[in-house]
Structure 1
Amino acid sequence: MSTILRRLPPDAATGLRTGARHSLAELYRPADLVVLGLGVMIGAGIFSIAGQQAATMAGPGVILSFMIAGIACLLACLCYAELSSTMPTSGSAYTFTYVIFGEVWAWIIGWALILELELAAAVVARAWAIITVRAITGFGVRLPYQNVVEDVFVLLILVALTGTVALNARVGLRALWVMVAAKLLAIGAVIVVGARYVKVANFGDFYAEPKPLTTPAATVLDLVMGQSHAFGWFGVFAAASAIAFAYIGFDVLATAAEETVNASRAVPKGMIRSLVIATIIYLAVALVMVGMIPYTSISRDSPLSSAFRGVGVDWMAHVIDIGAVLGLTTVILVLIVGQTRVLFSIARDGLIPRRLATISRRYHSPTRVTLLIGVVAILLAEFVPVLTLQQLVVIGTLFAFMFVAAGVIVMRRRMPHLDRGFSVPLSPLLPALSLLATLWLLVNLQVLTWVWFALWMAFGLVVYLVYGRRHSLLAAPETLANNHARGRHRR
């Protein structure tokens, strides 16, 4: 038991253990981190989630749902900010857990992050292909064999973005800047044009009359309560759970810490700023969506596009489609970057083959692990019905959120001497609230999602016991010491 609970020393978590072949060069500056955050948090969902939740769950109270979701995610973001400022490493929650709770728990979190990021890339790639086909046909172009075309588009986007991340990180960063700027222009057009058609009467009473849902119990909360309700305050909070998933992605910024200039201060600022900006943008779009037409008339399939058509501004549907394509492109790119860094860190620690942590001398990037991630994402997106597995992405993320919130509390007690570039205010109150908010989100996930997640984690535990436990860098202290010494000499 003591073997699997061995903890990584804090000073070994910041890259000193890695040696020249396993270190990442500094690339990101504070503004780049904000762009990374907006790149992953603002996808196609910004054009649909407000309308869908208003129509089905919260009514005009969806505005309050966005605020509640933003606060819940900000609590988690503050916890990530403190741990990232203390341990600026590419491993994110995996490395934080390794230092604070021990190796087996770190592996469990790393395994959850692999599920989150790998499956997310496949899900978003499939959604990107569907929306791209819709955008093309929306301009009057006929595409025969649309299913085949979608499959080809999935392959093209994943090959292109995997190659970009694998071969030249700086080119990928420049491309991200351009695409995020274009995406924000499209969103700005939606807000400015839509605001002209907002009617105060459409907001009505934020507290819509509650209605019992007739669908069978599907979530953990449904099983506990016996029956769920839409609208009313329960609907507002239920919608907040769904909306919080749209904000998820700020945690990916923690994986960029090792490549960030003055990371201990820049990463916390980048996380918090990008989340606040994303929340404001989501709120603005939600206000326009709910204000343009009554929530009882909102289309569930394409709410924003149908709202603009309803007020006679048909051309905005094309702007929305283009914005959605750009939004999903940046999401895929940042997800691949984040997954690469997490898997790179796990390999660097020896829990998976260390060859995957080799930096290409030619491209100055972890090319091997990036190509592996791209291949797996392609196989998942092409041969697995990934759009039915979206909640598995969420549960992996929330599982990491729990350990990060608890980690702030435990680290304050165990390691009060560590330097912190950022500290969560009102600790341990705010981390405890973050833990409770994450638990609320978890019980709003489907029971079937929990079953699949449990199976995935059980398989991961077997992998650790068979391979990771014996090949861990901590299983050979002399190797850790030698790499640590090389790292100090190099610096």
Structure 2
Amino acid sequence: MPEGHPSSIIRRLPPSEATNRWTGGARHGLPKAYRPADLVVMGVGVMIGAGIFSLAGRQAATMAGPGVVLSFMIAGITSLLVAFCFAELSSALPSSGSAYTFAYVIFGEVWAWAVGWALVMELLLASAVVSRVWSLYASQLLTDLGVRLPAPLAAITGQAEGFDLFTLFILVILTAVVTLGARIGLRALRIIVVAKLLAIGAVIVVGAMHFDQRNLSAIPVPATPAESTAGTLDSPLLGILFGQTGAFGWFGIFAASAVITFAYIGFDVVATAAEESEDASGSVPKGIIRSLVVTTVIYIAVALVMVGMTSYEKINSEAPLANAFREAGEGFMVHIINLGAVLGLTTVVLVLLVGLTRVMFSMARDGLVPSRLARINKRYRSPTRVTLLIGVLAILLAEFVPVLTLEPLVVIGTLFVFVSVAAGVLRMRQTMPDLPRGFRVPLSPVVPIASIVACLWLLVNLQVVTWLYFIAWMALGVLVYLLYGRRNSALAAGEQPVDPLAPGLRGRHRR
């Protein structure tokens, strides 16, 4: 470390550098592409997917019963509290790095790396998981329509594990779409979001015709530890601490709400589009909050319809919503559901890839990952190198790792980031009170503190094995940072401009 240069423990990215990137070297800015309405479409596109078509039924059948509606409310309220925090920070620091950049400015480089590393795990694993689920639904749609693939192809499509042709197909196609630039992806996103909302509307309307209130009153008795078949590592951390490892009851409802947080993942991705948005300080907060409110209402409506149509004891956890309509004698709705799932999951993967591209692009501009990944292709006006790298990594992960068993890792990574963002609001109010903001969290510090408490509560409801995997991932991240990021950081090279908010800093540090 050169003399007089701040150590990586305390060096922070100046706010002006986070919002006014200079050109030159490996640093570039992204072109404007998103209008205010586009951000709402992006949020709805990434959030409405697996939560409706599989997650709700699976948690109702195995963990919460009809209390799954409360689980969605708990997860939704928690997400809304955090969304207010994301809205304030993104209005003050509109950058493609989202929570990673917030942490860099507020807490410093080490914590920024931890948040960025967690975001990489969250978004990359989520892309792989949802791609696998997309393949399962696409195969089921073809089967229900009577389309039979040749035996060699049928053996490698719609597989939960091992090589899967449909998973490869969707990731290759969507990686290509993201590579071609934000505007191409946005056009496709608008069309698909409208189509899947129509399918979901049909599910709610037709399902409401078969609603039976008695199914909501059948509250299951909590399972005792003796009745639970789960091992210690597969049990919620909170359940072990309180001697309760069974499902259902309030423990089941809270455990389900922690898993269901997976369904709300995506509103934070809207913040990664800030650098490419018109009037980002105002449009991004509105896009985050509006898309989350719309999604929460839709989720609760569909969950109510599903548990109201059939008893939780009869819900098939493999294809819960489709089987609920089959039992109600509405077989034609199965095709609508499968089509809606395919469309919905397509937009989820698309936006996840966009979000991860922007996070890694920002990390590359800061030198924490190879800076050549931040090069923007002049023809497509997008960071094609990092996009292609992410596409390859997502394909390898989805094809060679049993990602469907790792879904809770996405949740723990997300909640970790949420806690960081909520804490960032509290810290920035103290250290940068005069920094312009287009949105302020209401009732601060109550809302940020409530966000942290709610996220921590959901975190302790995750399985012990999930915690162990997450600790291992973060330990690997520390090693990568020490070996590469700390030495190659742009701030370590003294490449930051003078920050007008820090009058004590003059000139640039040099090696």
- What TM-score do you get using the length of structure 2 for normalisation? 0.91
Q: Could you say which residue in structure 2 is the equivalent of 1:99?
A: 105
Q: Give the Cα–Cα distance (whole angstroms) in 1 for the partners of residues 312 and 412 of structure 2.
A: 29
Moved more, 360-369 or 449-458: 449-458
Q: Distance in 2 between matches of 1:185 and 1:66?
A: 22
The 2-side partners of 1:160 and 1:444 are apart by 36
- 1:270 paired with 2:287, answer yes
Aligned mate of 1:14, from 19, 32, 38:
19
Contact 1:91 1:342 (C-alpha < 8 Å) held by counterparts: yes
Whole-Å Cα distance in 1 between the matches of residues 402 and 252 of structure 2?
29
Q: Deviation digits for residues 40-84 of structure 1, max 9, x if unmatched?
A: 101133023332223333232222222222111101111111110
CA distance in 2, matches of 1:56, 1:402: 28
Q: Distance in 1 between matches of 2:283 and 2:264?
A: 20
Moved more, 59-68 or 82-91: 59-68
Distance 2:271 2:454 in 1: 20
Q: Measure the CA separation in 2 of the matches of 1:403 and 1:252.
A: 15
Instruction: Read off the aligned partner of 1:32 and give its amino acid letter.
Output: D
Shift of 1:409: 0.5
Q: How many residues end up aligned between the 2 structures? A: 482
Determine whether 1:243 maps to 2:260: yes
Q: Does 1:149 align with 2:157?
A: yes
Q: Take 2:330 and 2:291, find their aligned partners in 1: how far apart are those partners?
A: 31
Contact in 1 for aligned 2:119/2:413 (Cα 8 Å) = yes
Is 1:114 paired with 2:120? yes
Q: Structure 1 residues 150-159 or 111-120, which shifts more?
A: 150-159
Q: Which moved more, 1:60-69 or 1:283-292?
A: 60-69
Task: Give 1:5-404 correspondences, 5 Å limit.
Answer: 5-19=10-24, 22-143=28-149, 144-145=151-152, 146-150=154-158, 151-204=164-217, 207-212=219-224, 213-215=227-229, 216-217=231-232, 218=234, 219-404=236-421
CA distance in 2, matches of 1:434, 1:195: 33
What SS does the corresponding residue of 2:11 show, helix, strand or coil?
coil
Contact (CA 8 Å) 1:18, 1:483: kept in 2 or not?
no
Moved more, 361-370 or 230-239: 230-239
Amino acid corresponding to residue 7 of structure 1 in structure 2: R
Q: Distance in 2 between matches of 1:162 and 1:323?
A: 21
**Unaligned stretches of 5+ in structure 2?**
1-5, 159-163, 501-511
Structure 1 residue 392 displacement after superposition:
1.6
1:312 partner SS: coil
Kindly report the root-mean-square deviation, in angstroms, between the aligned alpha carbons of the 2 structures: 1.8
Aligned equivalents of 1:90, 1:18: Cα separation in 2: 15
1:452 to 469, 472, 483: 469
Distance 1:204 1:327, change over 3 A: same
For normalisation by structure 1, the TM-score amounts to 0.94
Match of 1:489 in 2: none
Counterpart among 487, 493, 502 of residue 476 in structure 1: 493
C-alpha displacement of 1:18: 4.4
Give the CA deviation at 1:274: 0.4
Q: Once the 2 structures are TM-superposed, how far is the Cα of residue 192 of structure 1 from its aligned partner?
A: 0.9
Structure-2 change in CA distance of 1:135 and 1:175 (3 Å): same
Contact 1:17 1:483 in 2 (8 A): no
Contact kept, 8 Å, 2:16 with 2:499, in 1: the verdict is no
Q: Which amino acid aligns with 2:203?
A: V
Name the stretch that deviates more: 10-19 or 443-452: 10-19
Q: 1:428 aligns with which of 424, 442, 445?
A: 445
Measure, in 2, the Cα distance between the counterparts of 1:382 and 1:420: 43
Q: Following TM superposition, by how much is the alpha carbon of 1:483 offset from its aligned partner in structure 2, in angstroms?
A: 12
- Whether contact under 8 Å (1:135, 1:322) holds in the other structure is yes
What's the offset of the Cα at 1:464? 1.2
